[in-house]
Structure 1
């Protein structure tokens, strides 16, 4: 018997807790670097902001990399699955409109990490926003256009 795809294994044991802080990560379909064009990546950023405006999540830090994103947030309403489904669906719609493409832009599933109470939140935020630096895309964090952190 074949084991289920990895995206289904990621859901096993997943529990969404309001007012809990999570680090979420998801990849583009086939790791296509569609956000090398930062203007396309702004459509994902728009969904992060919309989720906050609508009370689903408080964004603490995020970075949109060429083929994935990291989003540090405090879940406020609904579940992680609902939040990620909404974020991926709405960003796909706008990205496809501006690029003239069709179909999914995201791999199924996502990775979530619920932060423990003793984890240093600012350290995790620094890890998130330093992603482009570690990937060799920039020489200074301020040079990358697709990131933000609540503390800056």
Structure 2
């Protein structure tokens, strides 16, 4: 019997085999203030991501820049990207030692459609600290990592 009484049975079969989409998300600080690249914000980001996983929100690879964050997100269908990013911003604000507002309204997102897109977006984010002149080698940037391995 269908769990969605108003949907034909064949749609239930499709939803059961559906892989949740993967998003590449970028969100920025208000007025591009360089307030993010520090140990406190990094720890708060990881803490939020680890607590979100059991609730159906997978935070994959990420790079925390001084004034923006790049991350990959996959969520269970009951979650929305807007709410997820809003809750993440709220959690990170507690670790930011700067006057409010901390965040630029909204965020930028890209729905990944294939593994090549995932690789391209990751390479862009990974090299971002080098492009910004913060480190010579991407692997030397300490405010990056992966919380959950999101396979594409």
Query: TM-score normalized by structure 2?
Result: 0.73
Secondary structure at 1:34 match in 2:
coil
Structure 1: distance between partners of 2:141 and 2:72: 18
TM-aligned CA deviation for residue 85 of structure 1: 0.9
Distance 1:111 1:40, change over 3 A: same
* Gap regions ≥5 residues in structure 2: 1-17
2:114 is aligned with 1:117: yes
2:71 is aligned with 1:74: no
| Match 2:140 to one of 95, 119, 143 | 143
* Gap regions ≥5 residues in structure 1: 1-16
Alignment of 1:126-137 (within 5 A): 126-137=123-134
2:32 is aligned with 1:23: no
RMSD in angstroms over aligned alpha carbons? 2.4
Structure 2: distance between partners of 1:29 and 1:103: 9
Distance 1:33 1:18, change over 3 A: farther
* Segment of structure 1 superposing worse, 22-31 or 110-119: 110-119
Distance 1:126 1:50, change over 3 A: farther
Query: TM-score normalized by structure 1?
Result: 0.73
Q: How many residues align?
A: 130
TM-aligned CA deviation for residue 120 of structure 1: 3.9
